[in-house]
Chain A
Amino acid sequence: MLKVANLSVAFDGKPIITDLSFEVPTATTLAITGPSGVGKSTVLQAICGLVRISSGVISVDNHDITHVPTHKRGIGMVTQSNDLFPHLTVSQNIAFGLRMRGVSPREASDRVEELLELVGLPDFSLREIQTLSGGEARRIALARSLAPSPRILLLDEPFTGLDDETLDVLMHQMKSILQSSAMTSILVTHDYFEADFLSSSSLSLVP
């Protein structure tokens, strides 16, 4: 279970999030909704340790991770801009997190194949990042964040910028992956339909 208690974040003295508390039970998805600029993405960045928090406690399965460095938290993230490494191929991107943990190349390769299968792009391992379409890149980003088997997955507007057909396929695929892997996750979106479809509970942030 992910527990966020009394979280506050400020940039240059200006409060962005004030005293926010919520819980995400294991193997469920929480949707965070709200208008642009309300601090939805900042909540995710705070949970994985990418922004410094002013106060509050973040814990996973009753372990306080508030001061644990990002790379040791075991929290994966998919962003709306994908942020795939342009100098690496598809398979190297997916294997990145495994490589950082010292997983053997053979084991990593098997996991990459498994994940490519999971996201529906089985023959993409040698493809260059620049040749991917928006939908394909989003699926590879999802596979990459799943590769190191994170305890929690954060999805920051993962369907933004996709055409209707790709969006429909990807949402169903995402739901199936989250359910089959019993993943604890948070979905940030401003689309209430996406929130309803994927999440078991929701939290609405207001300015």
Chain B
Amino acid sequence: MTTRRLLSFLPLGFVAVFLVLPLFNSIATFFSASTTREVLTDSSMLGVLWFSLWQATVSVVATMVFALPATWALSRFQFPGARLCRGLLTAPFVLPSIVVAAGVLAISQRTGVVSILWAHVVFNVAVVVRLVGPRWEFLHPKYESLAATMGASPAQTFVYIVWPNIRSAVISATALVFTYCFTSFGVISIVGGFSRRTVETEIFTQSVRLGNTDVAIALAIIQMIVVLLVFQISRPSLRQFSSVDVITHPMSLFVKPRGRWIVLASVAIPVIIVVLPLSATLVRSIAYRGSISFHAWSTVLGGTLPQLTVSTWRVIATSLLFALAAAALAVSLALIAAQHMNRQHFRYANKDHALRFVTSLPLVVSAATLGLGLVITFNRDPFSWRSHTWLIPVIHAVIALPVAIRILEPAVQAIPSSLRAGATTLGASPWQTWLHVDIPLLRPALLRSVGLTTAISLGEFGATSFLTRSDSTTMTMAISQLLGRPGVITQQSGYVLASLLILLTVGVTSRA
């Protein structure tokens, strides 16, 4: 077996040990058919399931209502500030869900369904703009003009020309947004309040607070089945890429004066909805009931987090250390996986899907389910790792791995094989070719994946909730604890820390 083939087992083994094993072990240990039956017949649990499905569905609809017009306007028209608007709408994609939730709470001042939906919209508009936008841009406007010359109305043009080209991207975005909302943990924890429980938060409550691990496992299985069903139903058609041959340039908005306000409103309204909570986080950290005070900032920057036993700098250092370790691990494994998949692409032509399948699993398994599996599995010798600090960045790397692979794989594929062949004919060994040709050409993708995986780790909350201890408190955990406790300064300190987390996240992803 070659070294390359052996290396390909690293990402496979990593996901197998830290995701597949905990998942199967926890199911094998605690699965009970009778408990699952009870969960499916218990009115309280059915209420939780119903609310999870309901809020996820409404969140998808609300997201699409604001995101699709914005995507259309940004993909089709050029106007001053368009780039800034696109940046503002897509920024929350990398922001921690708990920060977005804190921002919504800062404005609405109350927990409940509206706050949940708002937070989900803020978070997921970015998903739609990022997934559907490029496809819409690829569709050359000449096709729409041609349809019009053949008598098609704007609505008919959309149905027969635009929709077939963006359909698969919209379906993929819908599935992703639904999954994010259905398995949302940070948002529900912060703005859901006591009465709003979803399957994801209930897994945490049942296992950690009530000790009903069998109920938590039953819920986790039900949740996974729903997510798998959604992915199965939404599997995009492969014949959707008919007119992606031309990259088009958006036309100037000012050539179409009558529709100008519609275009601007399509972008402005979502921008306000997205930006308001984020700016509110900063405002709330200095303002309370009409008065301005920097007391919370001076307290937090002085090193104290009210009512917590850890210092500000310890929490920030812990988060940064975990994020850097997780990014290094996830990106290294993703690079190995991406290069192996690329090699398979040419040599084995889709005969071996194992690596792709296994490394996609973290997308299907929710953070709470993963956290629960880890706590159950790594609780006994010789694998009593649950209290080990290193497990947290390792799990962050598991969660970030699919994202890193999805950034690196196209970049690896984009390197023409003739460049590698050229290097070899000039005397470069395979290792030299990798070092002097592949790595320099992959540099932008590597930077991007490091930035995004760092951001994912900085914002991770669900799985960390199961594993964290006072000596490994991360920024998201500290924000959650501060916002969940009484006291003006305590809560304002939560917003200060959330503002710092926004700055950190924007900092690490700005060059990505």
Contact = CB atoms under 8 A, between A and B. Distances in A.
B434 to A, nearest CB: 12
Interface string B422-455: 1111111110110011001101000000000000
Contacts of B436: 96, 99-100
Q: Which of B416, B423, B424, B440 has the most CB of A within 10 A?
A: B424
A87 interface: yes
A117 to B, nearest CB: 20
Interface in A38-81: 45, 48-50, 69-72, 74-77, 79, 81
A187 to B, nearest CB: 16
A53 to B, nearest CB: 16
A97 interface: yes
A148 B416 contact: no
Given A50-B424, A70-B424, A87-B440, A81 B429 contact: no
Contact of A97 (B416, B427, B430): B427
Contacts of A76: 425-426
A81 B429 CA distance: 22
B425 A85 contact: no
B426 A96 contact: yes
Given A50-B421, A79-B418, A85-B419, A148 B441 contact: no
B307 to A, nearest CB: 52
A145 B418 contact: no
Contacts of A45: 421
B418 A100 contact: no
Nearest to B349: A12
A96 B425 contact: no
A83 B427 contact: no
Interface string A83-95: 1011110000000
A101 B440 CA distance: 19
A139 interface: no
A111 interface: no
Given A71-B429, A100-B432, A83 B424 contact: no
B312 to A, nearest CB: 42
B423 to A, nearest CB: 7
A145 B425 contact: yes
Interface in B388-443: 416, 418-419, 421-430, 432-433, 436-437, 440-441, 443
Contacts of B419: 83, 85
Contact of A71 (B427, B437, B440): B427
Contacts of A74: 427
A144 B441 CA distance: 19
A48 B418 contact: no
Given A100-B427, A100-B432, A148-B426, A87 B441 contact: yes
Interface in B177-207: none
Contacts of A147: 426
Interface band, chain B: 20 to 34
Interface residues of A, number: 28
Contacts of A75: 425
Contacts of A83: 416, 418-419, 421-422
Contacts of A81: 418
Nearest to B415: A86
Given A87-B440, A96-B436, A79 B422 contact: yes
A76 B427 CA distance: 9
Nearest to A70: B424
Nearest to B424: A70
Contacts of B441: 86-87
B423 A96 contact: yes
A42 B340 CA distance: 25
Interface in A114-158: 144-145, 147-148
Contacts of B429: 69, 71, 100
Contacts of A145: 425-426
A69 B429 CA distance: 9
Given A87-B441, A96-B436, A100-B432, A71 B424 contact: yes
Nearest to B427: A100
A71 B431 CA distance: 11
A172 to B, nearest CB: 25
A195 B430 CA distance: 34
Nearest to B425: A77
Contacts of B443: 87
A96 B420 CA distance: 12
A87 B443 CA distance: 10
A71 B428 contact: yes
A191 B443 CA distance: 40
Contact of A148 (B421, B427, B432, B437): B427
Contacts of A85: 419, 422-423, 437
A75 B443 CA distance: 30
Nearest to A101: B427
16 contacts: A50-B425, A70-B425, A71-B432, A71-B433, A74-B427, A77-B422, A83-B421, A83-B422, A85-B419, A85-B437, A97-B426, A99-B436, A100-B432, A101-B427, A145-B426, A147-B426
Given A71-B426, A75-B425, 6 more contacts: A71-B424, A71-B430, A71-B432, A86-B441, A96-B428, A100-B427
Q: Which 8 A-B pairs have the closest CB atoms?
A: A97-B426, A70-B424, A83-B422, A100-B427, A87-B440, A83-B418, A77-B425, A100-B428
Interface of B: 416, 418-419, 421-430, 432-433, 436-437, 440-441, 443
Interface of A: 45, 48-50, 69-72, 74-77, 79, 81, 83, 85-88, 96-97, 99-101, 144-145, 147-148
